[in-house]
Amino acid sequence: MNTYVPNNGWREEELSFQRRRKWDQRVLEFVSRERSKALIWCGVLNVSHEEIDVSHPDFFKNARQQGYVPPRKEDCGQPGFTQAERDRFSRILKEGDLIDTYRWLQKEKDSDRGFTWSRNPVEKY
């Protein structure tokens, strides 16, 4: 399966959070239904699943856009690293009996192997 997962975005009122929740629910239903079949999921998943997957977890957890705070606490932070997105991704992996093969092979944090479109938080502070 090759997907481009919609970005969560920053603001609830732009419907991006709802769109992402709906997307995640549909993927969960698909992987649960097809669990008995072999599946390799590739593409742009637009989620950093665990703290080890980002360079500065505290920065990303607390990121805000111009002071906006989403109504749900679990939707706070850098899109792609909110607690809600990470929890839903965990559930998709579990229900689909899927393994993050990169993380399975690369157990140590290695910032040199990843990339980001964002500025480096260290440079800001």
- CA nearest neighbour of 111 among 61, 53, 44, 50: 53
Strand partners, 2: 42
Give the single-character DSSP code of 68.
B
Query: Do the beta carbons of residue 48 and residue 9 sit within 8 Å?
Result: no
The annotation status of 46 as a binding-site residue, yes or no, is yes
SS3 content of the chain, % helix, strand, coil (to 5): 45, 5, 45
Binding-site positions for Mg(2+) read 46
Binding-site positions read 46
